[in-house]
Structures are given as C-alpha cells and as structure tokens.
Amino acid sequence: MARWGRWTALGAAAALLATGCGGGSGGSGDGKGRTADVHASAGSPAATGTAAAPPASLTGQKLDWGRCKGAGGSAAPGADWRCATMKAPLDWSKPDGDTIGIALVRATSKASGGDRAGSLLFNFGGPGGSGVTTLPAFGSMFSSLREHYDLVSWDPRSVGASEGVRCRSDKDVQAAESLDYTPDTPAEERAFFQDATDFGKGCAKAAGPLLAHASTTDTARDMDLMRQVLGDRKTHYFGISYGTELGGVYAHLFPGNVGRIVLDAVVDPTADAVGHAQNQARGFQRALDDYLASTGEDPKKGSREIADLLHRLDAEPLPASDGRKLTQTLALTGIVLPLYSEQSWPSLTSALAAAKKGDGAELLALADGYNDRDSSGHYGTSAHSQRVISCLDDRQRPTAQETKRRLAQFEKISPVFGDFLGWDTAGWCHDWPVAGQYDTPEVSAPGAAPILLVGNTGDPATPYEGARRMADELGKGVGVLLTWKGEGHGAYTSGNDCVASTVNAYLLKGTVPKDGKVCS
C-alpha cells in the first residue's frame, strides 16, 4: 500500500483518459483574488536539511533537446514535443558525487518576450507515473496554459526513462495475481508476506544504490535543480494526486522559490500509511455509494451485493478470457478503475452485471487497464516504481498482528474496500530492504507565495478532507482552497468551467481566489 493507496499509481492518467479539460469562464464561486508575483526574485537556492547546494557543473548544464522516442513500443510524441536528459546527484547529501539521468519532455510556449512566464512543471501522480509519456498524451487539456508557459514534465528518479525500475518479470507479475491479498488461512498469509519479501528483493537487485535515493524529498530537490537548469527564477508547478504531496514537500524545502503552484486532488499530509489507507477506504466507498445512488440502487444494499460477489470470487474465481480467471483482487481493481471518473460509471454497471451472470471478462479488462497490462501480457512498471518510492518515504511498517486488530475498523469504514486496504498496509512495504524516512511529510512553507489547492468532494482516491488539511499545514496565507462539488479523481480536467477558469486565472494572471471559493 502506498501512502494513499495502491490504486493511485495510474489514477491520474486513468482519470485523464475519461475526461476532457474545461476552459473559459463561468460557473459558481465568489470573490476577487490577490495577485501572485510571477517575476519576483528567487529565494536562496540552498535546500534545508542535509543537502548542500548543487555544484555549478549541474546548475549550469545545457540540455540537449531533441526528438522524443516512443517508450516501450509506443508512438513518439508529436513534433511540438522535445526531450532531454538532466544530470542530478544520485545522493543529494553528496551533490558532487555520482549522477543519474532525469528524463524531461517539453513543449515551448507560444508566447514571446514579456508574455512568457517561464516553465510550468507537471507531475501526474502515483508515485510512479511517467510525465514524459503522460504530458504529451494529454497536453491538449493544458493548451491554454501554453499561452504563457513552456509545458514541462519528467520521469522522477526510478520511473520510466529516469533509471526506471522493474522488480519482477511479466510472468511473475501475472503469477502474483493468483495470490489472495486478503488472506484467510495461515498458508495464504505466508504466501502473501513471502510475495512481499520477494518483490522487495527484486527491487533491490534492479535498483541497486538508487533504492535508497528515490524518495519524494530527492525528487523535490531534483525539481529545484530543474528550475535552475531551465533558467527560471521561480518554480511554477501543477501537481495532481501524489503530485500534490511532492508539491508540498517542495514548498517546504524551497519556500522562497515558490511561484505559482496548483495542487489538484490533494493528498492528506497529516495521515500516516494506515491513515491514508483508511482515508482511501472512505473515499472509494463514498464514490461507490454515489455511483450506486446514481443507478437508483440503495447504496447499502448495493454494497452488500458487491461484497457478497467478492466473497464468492475469493472462494471460486470466475472464468474470463485466454484461460485467465477473475480473482477477488482483480475484480476489486476492476471496480476501482471506473470510480476515478463519472464518465466511466456505465462501464462499471456493465461489468458488474456480467460478473453476476458468471462472466468475469469485463471486470478483468478493467483491472488490466488499471494494472497497465496489454493484450500480449506485458505489464508496465509504474507499480514497481510506486513501491520503490513510497516504501522509501514511509517509515511505518504495520505487522500482521497490528493489521488483524485493525481489520474490523477498516471493514466498518468500507464493506467493499476495507479488508483489502487493511491487509495492504501490512504487505506493501513488508520486509523492505531500506528503511522509510518519515511517518508524515513536512509541508509547512512559511513565507511562500500563495499555493492554490483544488479539492473535489467526490474524489475517491484522495478524499476531499485532505485538501483542507494540506492548506492548514502549508500555513496561513499560503494554502488557498478551491472546492469543486463533483465526482472523480481531480477537478481541473473534469470539464467544469468554474474550476478551469479559476485555475487559469491564477496561473496565467496571478489572480489568487478567495480562500474557500466553491465551484459546482
């Protein structure tokens, strides 16, 4: 279980697939905003903590922007996109030591001269999501921002083209799908924890020294090096899902370098690993209840029926396709994916109906989409990178005994998702080869420019309450909360004009909305 759940590794990208980007003006809300100075002088380049300022050989490096190459057989981005590799310290406590390559992608601004505001960095979540592939794929959703910014994203260390980690083979990934991730017997429990141990060993072998240097803090420091290499005095940033935690950590480390930062689908920075799992159980159950209500079904009755289906699958998986079977865990993952976007709810209706008739193919296809499995049986590695990053971040390592004591509480929160997420807290980082760094991230950023937080009341993966907590943790006058009364993971790409116009006004004009503004 990652800090906010295994199911967010592809969450932002999955939500983007099913949504369009809103624009223009209109919608609800109140108040005129303040203005954030995009051209103010930068703060000290030195980070807090143990890291020293990077040497001139890194801050002064010139990037060689060239044609992007498709990753994993995918089509290369179009002509507007260029790729480059930035050198960063492997170990930020030794910035003059060995380096690693950080892969970047960029589409330059259509503006010129004083109309160009600099670079706008994007992180789409996970941790483990590839910005090099995601931003070009969905760049049209952010086209209005290109009027003033170069649109830039990157593969964080241990992800994709930035020393991406593959911890096990496709064959082993598929074999692990047959495990019971809510173990009911001592034998299933032993297999569950042995699989976690084996996965960690595979990551240690694949990542080598990088396993201890792929944390969110490391990536935040990479971001500030990126700012300097790109020639920006301030960091302008759009973080979604996990990207909001990364943004908060960056703001804490470099408050004087904060420019215009938007955090959408906000992670609760006050929750530890168990707290995030409980938050996510609430969030997905809330989204499922909303979905069931939209179909005219009583949410409690509908949840009981789904829970009964999952219990039956635990005992006897359903036949699906190509000789594969729909297990309890795969069915749960298939249910999760459509909850990321309201437009995908009809696919959940169809898949559940088929499963109740004994056909698991549709739910399995949804699970494969989330697990990044293609028709040839090849799996992407975002979940591998997610585990590498989150287990280095998280200090908490719940034992089997502690987990069992909490299961009743998890199941009370969610009869559908609670059992899985409860067990996941024990298995995700079990016997991990390196220790975690913190229980909760430090995101306080006194003196930083206003940061716009966008919380969605129906967000399943990062429940709305986390946005207010992030605002409070950032500090008075720094965290500014915009609320959208909607469904799905993330708000800006939902198509809501009020959200889009408010965010665009902040990023393009520096207009900070009144804290507490509501869009519906």
State the pLDDT at residue 111.
Answer: 78
Q: Tell me, yes or no, whether 12 lies in a domain.
A: no
Amino acid in the structure at residue 130: S
Distance CA 179, CA 373 (A): 17
Mean pLDDT of 338-356: 97
Residue 479 phi, psi dihedral angles, 5° rounding: -80, 120
Res 14 pLDDT > 90:
no
> Maximum distance among all alpha carbons in the chain?
67
Distance CA 276, CA 331 (A): 22
Residue 131: domain span: 26-165+210-270+444-519
**Positive or negative, the Cα torsion across 422, 126, 11, 504?**
positive
Helix locations, 64-152, DSSP H = 131-138
- Dig out the tokens for 362 from the structure: 């549709």
Q: Are residues 266 and 276 in the same domain?
A: no
Q: Are residues 252 and 313 in the same domain?
A: no
Confidence category of residue 75, pLDDT binned at 50, 70, 90:
low
Q: Tell me, yes or no, whether 306 lies in a domain.
A: yes
Q: Are residues 317 and 251 in the same domain?
A: no
**Positive or negative, the Cα torsion across 191, 203, 337, 441?**
positive
Give strand pairing partners of 451.
261, 479
Q: Tell me, yes or no, whether 344 lies in a domain.
A: yes
Res 29 pLDDT > 90:
no
Q: Are residues 415 and 472 in the same domain?
A: no
User: Quick one: which of 248, 243, 236 has its CA closest to 264?
Assistant: 243
Degrees to nearest 5, angle at CA 468 with 248 and 396: 60
Res 412 pLDDT > 50:
yes
Q: Tell me, yes or no, whether 1 lies in a domain.
A: no
- Dig out the tokens for 65 from the structure: 């922007």
Q: Please state, rounded to an integer, the average pLDDT across all residues of the chain.
A: 90
Query: To which residue do tokens 């437009």 refer?
Result: 343
Q: Are residues 379 and 469 in the same domain?
A: no
pLDDT > 70 in the chain, percent: 88
**159 DSSP assignment:** B
Confidence category of residue 511, pLDDT binned at 50, 70, 90:
very high
Query: To which residue do tokens 């930062």 refer?
Result: 261
State the pLDDT at residue 155.
Answer: 98
- Dig out the tokens for 471 from the structure: 């605002």
Mean pLDDT of 145-163: 96
User: Quick one: which of 476, 479, 470, 483 has its CA closest to 517?
Assistant: 483
Q: Tell me, yes or no, whether 392 lies in a domain.
A: yes
Distance CA 385, CA 372 (A): 13
Last residue of a domain, one of 385, 401, 427: 427
For residues 260 and 232, the answer to whether their CB atoms sit within 8 Å is no
For residues 366 and 347, the answer to whether their CB atoms sit within 8 Å is yes
Q: Are residues 318 and 400 in the same domain?
A: yes
Q: Are residues 253 and 352 in the same domain?
A: no
Q: Tell me, yes or no, whether 154 lies in a domain.
A: yes
For residues 488 and 348, the answer to whether their CB atoms sit within 8 Å is no
Q: Are residues 361 and 223 in the same domain?
A: no
Mean pLDDT of 343-372: 96
Last residue of a domain, one of 427, 459, 488: 427
Higher per-residue confidence, 6 vs 124: 124
Q: Are residues 260 and 359 in the same domain?
A: no
Amino acid in the structure at residue 418: G
| Number of domains the chain is built from | 2
Q: Tell me, yes or no, whether 38 lies in a domain.
A: yes
SS3 readout for 268-330: CCCCCHHHHHHHHHHHHHHHHHHHHHHCCCCHHHHHHHHHHHHHHHHHCCEECCCCCEECHHH
Q: Are residues 85 and 110 in the same domain?
A: yes
Q: Are residues 266 and 279 in the same domain?
A: no
Amino acid in the structure at residue 280: Q
CATH number for position 229: 3.40.50.1820
Peptide bond into 127 cis (omega under 30): yes
Mean pLDDT of 108-133: 90
Q: Tell me, yes or no, whether 304 lies in a domain.
A: yes
Last residue of a domain, one of 427, 458, 480: 427
State the pLDDT at residue 115.
Answer: 78
Residue 373 phi, psi dihedral angles, 5° rounding: -105, 125
Res 403 pLDDT > 80:
yes
pLDDT > 90 in the chain, percent: 85
Q: Are residues 111 and 233 in the same domain?
A: yes
